[in-house]
Amino acid sequence: EPEVTQTPSHQVTQMGQEVILRCVPISNHLYFYWYRQILGQKVEFLVSFYNNEISEKSEIFDDQFSVERPDGSNFTLKIRSTKLEDSAMYFCATTPGLAVPGEQYFGPGTRLTVT
Amino acid sequence: RKEVEQDPGPFNVPEGATVAFNCTYSNSASQSFFWYRQDCRKEPKLLMSVYSSGNEDGRFTAQLNRASQYISLLIRDSKLSDSATYLCVANGMDSSYKLIFGSGTRLLVRP
């Protein structure tokens, strides 16, 4: 069964450093999302991406964050200057279309630890 | 007010028990609802969609009451493997169809 993959599984970085989290969506999927989950809290939407552009972003997704799909396969989330409060699990999710938009397929996540 | 609210639990039940989870949502314009399951430190996985007519998948039954803005999940004949956190989820009413998650209800099934 096709699945969403994410790398790395765990990233430790120092405050102020840049990190890039990578996701490989399921091949025929068109809509891509990043969510995050701070330990012990709920899953929160960060950004959605369709047709090579952001379709919506949350208040969390400030100027420190960016997304791109550089090569038609990878979908990346960049945090330019990490803060302690960016420590969380970051999940990539994809969906083939909007017929059943809630059926999103999540990757295993990247655990980001900012020290 | 939280967009999607759930009782955090935990619900601690013996194997074979029937357990019900409830969820309320605040945005009456929300169209689609789902239950996702999340195991500890893992990704959310879709358990089932929720329809107004009610839908059943094996031991799981989901129900939506739009008038009360209330969603439920019933698990019959609980198994040890059902132990997880159950996330009530609504689709955001915008072009991106983002998911709006509740905080989850934790279920522990004991032998």
Locate A47 and state its tokens.
């950004």
Model confidence at B70, pLDDT cuts 50, 70, 90, reads very high
B contacts of A43 (beta carbons < 8 Å): 38, 44, 87, 99, 101
What's the confidence (pLDDT) of residue A98? 67
Q: Is the backbone of residue B54 left (phi > 0), alpha (psi -120 to 50) or beta?
A: left
Closest partner residue to A101 among B38, B97, B103, by Cβ? B97
Q: How far is CA B48 from CA A84, A87, B34, in A?
A: 35, 30, 6
Q: Give B87's contacts in chain A (Cβ within 8 Å).
A: 42-43
pLDDT, position B62:
96
CB-nearest partner of B98 from A33, A105, A109: A33
Residue A108 is nearest to which of B32, B43, B103, comparing CB atoms? B43
Across all residues in chain B, what is the average pLDDT?
92
Angstrom distances, CA of residue A55 to CA of A48, A86, B98? 6, 22, 10
What pLDDT, on the 0 to 100 scale, is given for residue B32?
Answer: 87
What is the average pLDDT across A76-93? Answer: 97
Give the neighbor-by-neighbor strand order of the sheet with B55-57: B4-6, B19-25, B70-75, B60-65, B55-57
In angstroms, rounded to a whole number, what is the distance separating the alpha carbons of residues A76 and A90?
A: 11
Whether chain A has a CB inside 8 Å of the CB on B96: the answer is yes
Q: Please name the member of B92, B96, B101 whose beta carbon is closest to the beta carbon of A43.
A: B101
In the predicted model, what is the mean pLDDT of chain A?
93
Query: Structure tokens of B59?
Result: 């031991």
Residue in B18, B12, B25 with CA at minimum distance from that of residue B92: B25
Q: What is the pLDDT of residue A99?
A: 63
Tell me what pLDDT residue A38 has: 97
Q: Is the pLDDT of residue A72 over 90?
A: no
pLDDT of A102 above 90: no
What stretches of A3-110 show up as alpha helix (H) in DSSP?
none
Q: What value does the mean pLDDT take over residues B10-24? A: 96
Residue A30: per-residue pLDDT: 86
- The answer to whether the CB atoms of A102 and B94 lie below 8 A apart is no
Residues 6+ apart with CB under 8 A from B54: B61, B62, B63, B64
What integer pLDDT is reported at residue A107 of this predicted model? Answer: 97
- Confidence check: pLDDT of B94 > 80: no
- Check whether B82 has a pLDDT greater than 80: yes
A32: confidence class by pLDDT, cuts 50, 70, 90: very high
Q: Is the peptide bond between B14 and the residue preceding it cis, with omega within 30 degrees of 0?
A: no
Taking a contact as any Cβ pair under 8 Å apart, which residues of chain B between 24 and 83 contact chain A?
Answer: 32-34, 38, 41-46, 49
